[in-house]
Amino acid sequence: MTAHTPLPRADFRGWDGNTAAAREIQNQLAGKVVLTDDFGPLKLIAGVDVGFEDGGKITRAAAVLLDAETLEPLAQALARIPTCMPYIPGLLSFRELPAVLQALESLDQTPDLIFSDGHGIAHPRYLGIAAHLGVVTGLPTIGVAKKILTGLHQPLGEQRGEQVDLVDKTGRIIGTVLRSKDKVRPLIISPGNRVSLETAPQLVMRYVTRYRLPEPTRLADRLASRRDEKRAAPQQVMNLE
DNA sequence: GCGACAG
DNA sequence: ATCTTGTCGC
């Protein structure tokens, strides 16, 4: 008996080499983003991130599932596939989602909320990777980025928890610049799907412990960038001449 | 035309 | 993202 909960998933239209076509897909999918708090009790949360191997030839995606209450890691999955396109600012999701979706499908349970590295709607066409992932899977998602892609904001306080709006050229609020820890570079938080602009930063703070990144993102980060093995690796015996 | 530009 | 050791500061 298969205990697999299938990952809800609509068709993901990938990169076909046409930049203009990709931007058009973004404009179309941006209209499907839900910006209200449309999620139930959070029992399982996930973090996803991507790293590269072999000088960029291999795209390596990590998905980590945690207990939303205890933050205990419950499962993790890795997907390694040939890199399908180069990095193009604004089109990140087309480069990374194929691997991310495969990693998520490998988990034996579907998360109630996914934290994705990168932006949600804080994007030139309101469809950063977190929003794209949310629309494609239909799941609630939040984008956690380390740098601004687009938008401006007022000065931010130095203390943990302080935040200011990230605003569009058109005046639209597209995200939150959030100080997750005292005196660290702020994180840029934006809704991906089924989460409001107000709730997104609150959820991020709920899962921040002693590091700058919230646990789901931090753990996925370590796995995707192989920073975990470099820590668990046994001591090498050196032969001194 | 020039500068900016998630990961 | 990735290539990379020690080092400065809280």
- Single-letter residue type at A77: A
Task: Evaluate whether residue A218 is within a structural domain.
Answer: yes
* Residues of the binding site of A for Mg(2+): 49, 117
> How far apart are the C-alpha atoms of A44 and A189, rounded to whole Å?
20
pLDDT band at A8 (very low <50, low <70, confident <90, very high): confident
Task: Evaluate whether residue A145 is within a structural domain.
Answer: yes
- Structural domain range at position A85: 20-225
User: For strand B, which residues in window 37-56 of chain A come within 7 Å by CB?
Assistant: 49-50
Nearest CA among A111, A114, A203, A149 for reference residue A26: A149
Task: Evaluate whether residue A88 is within a structural domain.
Answer: yes
Residue closest to C2 C1′ by Cα: A55
Residue closest to B6 C1′ by Cα: A118
Domain count, chain A: 1
pLDDT band at A230 (very low <50, low <70, confident <90, very high): low
Return the CATH number at A117.
Answer: 3.30.2170.10
**Portion of chain A with pLDDT greater than 70, in percent:** 93
pLDDT band at A140 (very low <50, low <70, confident <90, very high): very high
DSSP A56: G
Whether residue A241 has pLDDT greater than 70: no
Kindly report, residue by residue over A157-215, the tens digit of the pLDDT.
999 999 999 999 999 999 999 999 999 999 999 999 999 999 999 999 999 999 999 99
Task: Evaluate whether residue A205 is within a structural domain.
Answer: yes
Statement: the CB of A212 is under 7 Å from strand B: no
The partner residues of A63 in beta bridges, in order of sequence, read A48, A77
> How far apart are the C-alpha atoms of A173 and A164, rounded to whole Å?
10
Å separating the CA of residue A148 from the C1' of nucleotide B4? 11
* Residues of the binding site of A: 49, 117
